[in-house]
Each structure stands twice: as C-alpha cells, then as structure tokens.
Amino acid sequence: MNRPWAVFTDHIALTVRLTPNGGRDAIDGVETDADGKPHLKVKVTAIPEKGKANKALVALMAKSLSVPKSSVSLASGETSRKKILRIDGDPEDLIRKLKDLVEF
C-alpha cells in the first residue's frame, strides 16, 4: 500500500480525510480513495463550522504525534473533507510515530 505522506527535508505532508461531527476524536487507519490515492481517516467531534473541525484535527494530530500544535498546519483543503497537513519536524521521527498509530 502506498503511504499517505510525502517526505521533505524538514516536514511531511500528510493526506487526511476528515469526518467532522464523527462522535469521537480518533485516527481510524488508512484508506484508499477511488483514484487509488491513500489517506489517513480521521474523525473529530467538532462541527464543520468556522474552522472548528480543522482546529480539532490539528489538535488531535499534534497530540497523537507528540508535537506542538504550531508544528501542524493545514496546507490545503480548508473547506474540503480531503486535506493536506504540513507537519514540521524530523520526517523519520514523524513517520515512525505515524506507523505506531496506524498499521501500514
């Protein structure tokens, strides 16, 4: 399976499919879309209003990867379910933490 991230020198770009108002804050694994592209499935309890779901996504990913919230930013997809997160830090460390969270 392909990985839902791209590696750069000082960060990774992570493709996420967000389900707002999902009943719980959780990372639910990796899935492939109709085009064959992988993404991380994430649910948050926040509603998709005034950026609340995006803020909840950033907070969940920062906590899950043990990085500051300021290291996680939305690179694209502000109003879409499909988003790309930029996560600053050592790429090898971030990928190891992702692999600990989800089976690839």
Which pLDDT score, from 0 to 100, does residue 25 have?
96
CB 101 within 8 A of CB 29: no
C-alpha count within 13 angstroms, C-beta hemisphere, residue 13: 10
CA–CA separation, 55 vs 32, rounded Å? 24
Model pTM score: 0.95
CA–CA separation, 84 vs 35, rounded Å? 16
Helix (H, G, I), strand (E, B) or coil at 94: helix
* Span 64-86, average pLDDT: 97
Which pLDDT score, from 0 to 100, does residue 1 have?
55
* Span 72-94, average pLDDT: 97
Q: How confident is the model at residue 80 (pLDDT cuts 50, 70, 90)?
A: very high
Give the pair of three-digit tokens for residue 43.
């649910």
Average pLDDT over the chain, rounded to whole? 95
